[in-house]
Amino acid sequence: MAIDQGSLRYGQGSAVTSVETRNRVLRNTYWLLALSMIPTVLGAWIGVTTGFTFFAGSPFIGLFAFLAIAFGFMYGINRFKDSSIGVVLLLAFTFFMGLMLSRLIGSILGFSNGAALIMYAFGGTAVVFGAMATIATVSKRDFSSMGKWLMMGFVVIFLAAIANIWLQMPALMLTISSLAVVIFSLFILYDLQRVVNGGETNYITATLSIYISVYNVFSNLLALLGIAGGNNND
C-alpha cells in the first residue's frame, strides 16, 4: 500500500537537501522501523492468545472496519508527522496491524511445523529488505518511474483479494500472494531510494510506507509457506 507522503515527491528538494540531512532521515527511519516491530509482535501475541479477529462474522464488515481504522491511523500519522504524536500514532498503528496478523499466525501455528514456517517467513522478509536497502543505497539507477506501476499493481492485487473472498480459489490466492511479495518488495526499494535521494525528508511518514511494505511481504510469504509447506502431521 503506497502512502501519499505530502507535497514532496521523488527527487524534489534533493538538490537542497544536504547529505547529512538525508543520512539522518534514513538512520531515524531504520530505528523507528525496528522499534515498530515491538508493538507488532505484542499485538500478534495478544491476538493469538485471545483469538482476536475482525472476520468472525461477515468478512466484508470486517474488511471495511479494518480499512476504516487503518486509514484513520494513516491520516493521523500524516497529520502529526512533525511531532511526537506522529510516533505514538505510528506505534499504535503497528500494534493494531499485529492484531490483524494474529489470525494468519494462529492458523500457521496449527501446523506441526508452524513455528519453523514463521521463522522462514521472517528470514525471507529480512533478506528481501536487506537486498532492497542495499540496491536503494548503492544503485545509481533512478527507480522513481516505478511509482505509478507499483500503485497499479497494488490496486489489481487489492481488487483480486476482495473478489477472492467470494470466489475462494486457492490458485488465485497463490497468485495474489506471489504478486504481493514482488510488488511490496519493489515498494521497499522505491520508498527507501526516495529517502536516500532526498525526496522524502520526514522519517515518520517514511517509516509508515516502508512498514506497510515489510508487513505485506512477511504476511504474504507466510501465507505462501503455509499453503506450500504446512504439515498437518503430528
Give residue 39's Cα distance to chain centre: 14
CA-based nearest residue to 216, from 161, 137, 141: 161
pLDDT tens-digit map of 141-151: 999 899 999 99
Question: Is residue 164 pLDDT above 70, yes or no?
Answer: yes
pTM here is 0.90
The cell for 119 is 521463522
What local confidence, expressed as pLDDT, does residue 88 receive? 98
Statement: residue 64 has pLDDT above 90: no
- Mean pLDDT, to the nearest integer, of 36-60? 88
Given this model, what pLDDT does residue 8 score?
33
